[in-house]
Amino acid sequence: MLRLARRNKASMVYASTSEAYGDPQVHPQPENYWGNVNTWGPRACYDEGKRLGEVYCYEYFDKFQVKVKVARIFNTYSAELRNDDGRVISNFVNQAIQNQDITVYGDGSQTRSFCYVDDLLGGLIRMMESDAATGEIINLGNPQEYRVLEVAELTKRLAQSHSRITFHPLPENDPRIRRPVIDKAKALLGWEPVVTLEEGLLRTIEIYRSRFNKYGGGA
């Protein structure tokens, strides 16, 4: 894609990730934090793969003046996550609407900051359109931070579910904390998210539920 962008003098947004910060030792995470990533573990291929992509972007920007922009995308959700995606929001919502056990990994004290997809897409579109973003890394995410256990309780309450909240082993190298600093996105793009987790979860629950009522659990 970088070669194509160079040849066609196109600009390019690279969808990078908050995983570039790994299990961060700086909190919240600004773009100039270099991160804390284990190269030897189950998350390494994703984290380091995305980081290497950033390096290619940098080289093409620096050597060939390709107009690259790097979006570091934090946890994003909507009802378009597949039922079996395995991520926390799709798991919790699907479990809650079926009154199945809600599966919290670890003690649920780890944190994440969740951005509703409409907000995130708005940020990506602004990035595509912005010259000020060229050659920049910009965090895109919602800075409202929640403990995973709080997300389980909130989902259960909003879905009016009878699920039990159960605890399971924490995956290896699961980051303890995560929250973006979005000052750069505000300054360069005039962007910040507006959908709260409560609003976004209500929309997500409603859509998963109507799909579940129509097609059952397989869709």
d(CA 95, CA 143): 26
Say which DSSP state 218 is in.
Answer: G
Nearer to ligand UDP, 68 or 88 (CB): 88
Q: What are phi and psi of 157, to 5 degrees?
A: -65, -45
Which residues are CB-contacts of 4 (< 8 A; sequence separation ≥ 6)?
10
CB of 75 to ligand UDP, least distance (A): 5
**3 state DSSP class of 147:** strand
d(CA 131, CA 120): 19
CB of 187 to ligand UDP, least distance (A): 26
H or E element in which residue 77 lies: strand 76-77
Nearer to ligand UDP, 127 or 177 (CB): 177
CB of 5 to ligand UDP, least distance (A): 28
Q: By 3-state DSSP, what share of the chain in percent is helix, strand and coil, each rounded to 5?
A: 45, 20, 40
Nearer to ligand UDP, 58 or 212 (CB): 212
Nearer to ligand UDP, 106 or 135 (CB): 106
Place of tokens 């924490």: 170
Nearer to ligand UDP, 33 or 105 (CB): 105
- The verdict on whether 46 is a catalytic residue reads yes
Instruction: Please report, to the nearest 10 degrees, the dihedral formed by the alpha carbons of residues 142, 136, 52, 8 taken in order.
Output: 120
CB of 88 to ligand UDP, least distance (A): 4
CB of 215 to ligand UDP, least distance (A): 22
**Which residue in 46, 55, 56, 52 sits closest to 22, CA to CA?**
46
The active-site residue out of 21, 33, 46, 105 is 46
**Residues near ligand UDP, by CB under 6 A:** 75, 87-88, 91, 103-105, 110, 112, 148, 170-171, 174
Catalytic positions: 46
